[in-house]
Amino acid sequence: MLEPEQHTETARKPSKLTSGYVLYALLAVVPLLLAWAVWRWQQPAAVAFAATPVKVAVATVSNRPLVSYVQAIGELEAVQEVSVPAEIGGRIVELPIESGQRVSRGQILVRLNDAPQRGQLLRLQGQLDNTRTRLERMKQLIGANAISREALDNAQAQYTAARGAVQELIAEIEQRTIRAPFAGTLGIRKVHLGQYVNAGDTLINLLGNQGLYVNFSVPEQVASRFTPASTLQIELDALPGQPLTAVLNSIDPFLDRSRTLSLQARLQNPPDSALPRMFARVRLPLPLPANTLSVPETAVTYSAYGEDVYVVNPSLTPTVRRVSVKTGERRDGRVVISQGVAAGDQVVICGQIKLSDGASIEPVLHSALSVDAGAGE
């Protein structure tokens, strides 16, 4: 049987043997690693990975003519429009009209009962005849000095009073016959035959056929842009797709308390479907200078530093650079650029989300042309 010390010595021998094998292995591998490193260092550098160009749509910065607009909101008003009232109370005995009927000037609309007044008129006309005859007799007698001058004056006064009473009653009878003040189209009839009306009651509305006004207001800052006879563009919300024109005919000489100026223009050849009190959008065109630069609105991007566009650097492998710009008027899908680009520059109008400053691009010209053409329609 082995002693304890001999057993420990025997157990240590394999451990020393293993350590020797590891040492020999490392000594063999290290030269190989050094040789591989030298060989790798001597090889040419690998070509860097080239990023794929980003496909984008581009458009050319244009200096084509542009038009700016001063805009306002207005309302249509008829040149001739009235709510026909009863001037005197009475019962309707004649109603020769229908709703929506076209009438001429002076045409009878409503007749109120005037029988008592006509009977009274006959009595007053008899009195007038008597005073006239008496006055003529007095004139003959005064020539023969048969009466005093005072008697003649009294006869003249009686005749004048009788004639005034007759004329007053004729006027009242005329008031009981309501006529159209101008030619036009009637609205919905508000009364019926046999109905009693009071003075001031509306009988019917009448719309003339002389055209329409558009009334609108503008802030004092742009009031000077409007001059008499200015041509305006009108759009009615109720009649989309039917552009109209109007000529400015009146400018209020006073500003109201909200610092706005009231103006009125007359529509040119309004359609029959255009009606008073329709909502109207008013635009005054103001051509911009001929050298004004513009790009499609989609070319402008926004960041914490302001507004930018990506300008194309032309070359065999085009790249882009991000340029800060100053924008102005926006109209018909285009935006005016007053600073940052030049006429003829190409800018990216679609695909900016994948771009960064200096990125390679692949311009897609047909998309740019279609977008640009669409913006100019």
Lowest mean pLDDT among 57-66, 115-124, 144-153, 204-213: 144-153
Determine the CATH number of domain 55-66+290-376.
2.40.420.20
CATH class entry, domain 114-175: mainly alpha
Neighbour count for residue 25 (Cβ, 10 Å): 10
Instruction: Say how far apart CA 215 and CA 72 lie, in whole Å.
Output: 10
Cβ(88)–Cβ(172) under 8 Å?
yes
In this structure, are residues 64 and 344 in contact, taking their beta carbons and an 8 Å threshold?
no
The SS3 of residue 196 is strand
DSSP state letter for 161: H
pLDDT tens digits, 58-95: 998 988 888 888 899 999 999 999 999 999 999 999 99
- CATH of 70-79+207-287, picked from 2.40.30.170, 2.40.10.170, 1.10.10.60, 3.40.50.300, is 2.40.30.170
Is the pLDDT at 245 greater than 70, yes or no? yes
Confidence class of residue 238 from pLDDT cuts 50, 70 and 90? Answer: very high
In percent, the amount of the chain with pLDDT more than 90 equals 46
Q: Note the Cα 348 to chain centre separation in Å.
A: 31
43-52, 123-132, 136-145, 357-366: least confidently modelled range = 43-52
CATH 1.10.287.470 location in the chain? 114-175
Contact 306, 296 (CB under 8 A): no
Per the CB < 8 A criterion, the answer to whether 363 and 60 are in contact is no
Compute φ and ψ for 107, nearest 5 degrees: -70, 140
Parts of the chain belonging to CATH 2.40.30.170:
70-79+207-287
Pairing of strands 260-267, 244-255: antiparallel
Structure tokens at 247: 């000529």
pLDDT average, residue stretch 324-336: 87
Task: Please tell me the distance from the alpha carbon of residue 287 to that of residue 285, in angstroms, as a whole number.
Answer: 6
7 pLDDT band, cuts 50/70/90, is very low
Q: What is the largest CA-CA distance in the chain?
A: 198
Q: Output the pLDDT for position 377.
A: 40
* Tens-digit pLDDT profile for residues 268-287: 999 989 999 999 999 998 88
Assign 364 a pLDDT band (cuts: 50, 70, 90): confident
DSSP secondary structure string for all residues of 264-312? EEEESS--TT--TT-EEEEEEEEEPPTT-EEEEGGG-EEETTEEEEEEE
**pTM > 0.75:** no
Q: Are 75 and 309 in contact (CB under 8 A)?
A: no
